Chain A
Amino acid sequence: MKVLVPVKRVVDYNVKVRVKADGTGVETANVKMSMNPFDEIGVEEAVRLKEKGVASEIIAVSAGPTACQEQIRTALAMGADRGILIEHDGVLEPLAVAKLLKAIVAKESPELIILGKQAIDDDMNATGQMLAALLGWAQGTYASKIESADGGLKVTREIDGGLEILQLKLPAIITTDLRLNEPRYASLPNIMKARKKPIETVKPADLGVDVTPRLTVLKVEEPAKRQAGKKVGSVQELVDKLRNEAKVI
């Protein structure tokens, strides 16, 4: 089966983000950018499905500025076969991304789409579910295990308090949780090979999708800073402070 893996370009998870002085957003100029970590898990899972002979072709898709090609190249170096860049400068909300991906699905007819459960920039946790809704497909969110079963997929999901196992009909949407797998590092030969893999570029208008944001960001501010407290010298002092100063135990 053909597998689609959407990948998002985000501020690297190691970067301490700074709110812009004018309150319009966070500073992204001259900041290290990477593939969203949960999307890496999605690419890895697709590559493992291909290695098992379940997936036939893996297409990595990214929506955003031209520079998103870097994240598509990363996916190609990990093992995706080709890429599609939906080029757009400006804000793309999950609903818009889901509509763009739906248009790509109409062209490519994948049977499985694996997305990260959440992007670490806007923390929306939405695109996979929204895409599943627009396509009328089953969704298996927060997946920690995926198996082929009975002509569909058996998905183990991370839920509050434990795990849940669902049977999904295909085609289906999966969103990845942390423990689904540990993504590989691309080897140098694979990085070289990825340079020759094709990336097609399209625009939202080519796909007939209106990407106008529905949310206006009125301001972005830093949360109240927490003051560092004091160091205590011993366990006895700690318990005394908790009992008699903070009065929390």
Chain B
Amino acid sequence: MAVLVLVDHDGATVSQPTRSTVAAATKLGEVHALVLGGGAAAAAAAAMPGVTKVLQTEDALYAHALAEPVAALLIALAPGYSHLLAPASAAGKNVMPRVAALLDVQVISDIADVIDADTFVRPIYAGNALATVKSADAKKVITVRAASFDPVPASGGSGTIETVATAADPGLSAFLGAEIAKSERPELTAAKIVVSGGRAMGSAENFAIIEALADRLGAAVGASRAAVDAGYAPNDHQVGQTGKIVAPDLYVAVGISGAIQHLAGMKDSKVIVAINKDEEAPIFSVADYGLVADLFKALPELETELAKK
């Protein structure tokens, strides 16, 4: 039986976490992709190597990916699939447990490796332990930790596209609106470089120097939970156990002490730089390059130095 991947997209391109999910799915069987959206998104999904078929619906019922109707659609499609996968994004984490419960199976959240069709590795306790679990359920419903799988390319494939029938409308919720921050910066979970600020930033205004450094490096902006808690940065910038999991080529932690829950979100980064005035800060125990310095002095210097070629 084939494997179905629920696609996150922006109307034109497929998200990088979705391409990582396709990479995980190809270890399990022939991959089909479900696109809630228009022709451009469906074409982008069909272009992922490994995807043989795209199921598409433009029905307005799915326009805002509400959990209840999307779960009903996945349930209608489920009989044809051995595994149902989604990236462990806000959208995937919202809908997949609902799908699993409707199928009477235990969802397997945030997998970091595929051992075989029934067996998966997933982090627990903020990534301080890795559990290898074997599912006894006939069908598997899974969310995938994108940072753990190299994404398949965005092009090169040639899947077919077909329209799927609209499923039941549970009529339980309605979309009222959204406030999506407009940003020219790369998306946090897909960025090659991430610059994050912590509680030591001291204020939301001071976060501007993190943003300036990020822009200099072409990086995404992240934040520790402490910085989010203090209102210095929005929640969707949060890197950590309860926020985003990132694994960029370069992660720059500024004024972040390195609480367990933050390390859980970034310790798989290839190169980690820590800038902190407390030389005992735990962040230095995972940093490849540590700079013990006052961030308000070091960051302007860093910008000047980076401006030189």
The 7 nearest A-B residue pairs measured at CB: A138-B172, A229-B288, A133-B101, A129-B97, A130-B101, A126-B97, A214-B106
Total contacts A-B at CB 8 Å:
255
**Which among A139, A231, A241 is the interface contact of B292 at CB below 8 angstroms?**
A231
**B63: Cβ under 8 A from any A Cβ:** no
B125–A163 touching, CB < 8 Å: no
> Which residues of the other chain, B, contact A218 by a CB distance below 8 angstroms?
119, 132-134
**Given A215-B135, A229-B287, are A124 and B105 also a contact pair (CB < 8 Å)?**
no
B94→A246 contact, CB < 8 A: no
- Are A229 and B124 in contact, with the CB atoms below 8 A? no
Q: How far is the CA of A177 from the CA of B94 in the complex (A)?
A: 13
Question: In this assembly, does A162 line the interface, its C-beta being within 8 Å of a C-beta of chain B?
Answer: yes
* Interface contact A136-B217, CB-CB below 8 Å: no
CB-based contact B129/A164 at 8 Å: no
CB <8 Å contact, B124 and A248: no
Q: Is A196 an interface residue (CB 8 A)?
A: no
In Å, the complex CA distance between A161 and B217 comes to: 20
- Which residues of chain A have C-beta atoms less than 8 A from B179's C-beta? 162-164
| B107 x A130 contact (CB < 8 A) | yes
CA distance A134 to B289 in the complex (A): 49
Output the least CB separation between A131 and chain B (Å): 8
How would residues 73 to 95 of chain B score, 1 for a CB under 8 Å from any chain A CB and 0 otherwise?
A: 00000000000000001110111
What is the total number of residues of chain B having a CB less than 8 Å from a CB of chain A? 92
- Find the residue from A121, A129, A222, A232 having the highest chain B CB count within 10 A: A129
CB of A60 closer than 8 Å to a CB of B: no
Chain B residues within 8 Å of A236, by CB? 305
Interface flags for B221-264 (1: CB within 8 Å of A; 0: not) read: 00001001100001110100110000001100000000011000
Partner of A239, one of B172, B178, B193, B306: B306
| A132-B305 Cα distance, complex, nearest whole Å | 53
For chain A, residues 131 to 170, give those with C-beta under 8 angstroms from any C-beta of chain B. 131-134, 136-142, 144, 154, 158-169
| Extra A-B contacts (18), CB below 8 Å, given A220-B131, A222-B129, A232-B290 | A17-B129, A98-B101, A120-B242, A123-B109, A123-B241, A125-B97, A129-B98, A130-B100, A133-B102, A139-B173, A141-B93, A161-B181, A166-B66, A169-B171, A215-B135, A220-B130, A230-B290, A238-B302
14 A-B interface contacts by CB (under 8 A)? A17-B128, A95-B100, A123-B122, A124-B107, A138-B173, A141-B94, A158-B235, A163-B179, A218-B134, A219-B132, A232-B290, A235-B305, A242-B289, A249-B250
Q: Within 8 Å of chain B (Cβ to Cβ): is A42?
A: no
Report the nearest A residue to B219, measured CB to CB. Answer: A249
Chain B residue contacts of A226, Cβ below 8 A: 267, 272, 285-286
Q: Which residues of B contact A137 (CB under 8 A)?
A: 172
- Which A residues are CB-close (under 8 A) to B272? 226, 229
Quick one: which of B89, B99, B187, B289 contacts A230, CB cutoff 8 A? Answer: B289
Q: Would you call A95 and B106 a contact (CB within 8 A)?
A: yes
Q: Return the contact of B132 from the options A117, A128, A217 (Cβ within 8 A).
A: A217
B67 to chain A, nearest CB (A): 5
When distances are taken between beta carbons in the complex, the residues of chain B under 8 Å from A219 are: 131-132
**Cβ–Cβ < 8 Å partners of B306 in chain A:** 239, 249
Query: Counting CB contacts under 8 A, is A16 at the interface?
Result: yes
A72 to B: closest C-beta gap in Å: 23
- Contact of A215 with B134 at beta-carbon distance under 8 Å, contacts A125-B97, A134-B101, A177-B235 already known: yes
Q: Please, which residues of chain A bring their CB within 8 A of the CB of B178?
A: 159, 162-165
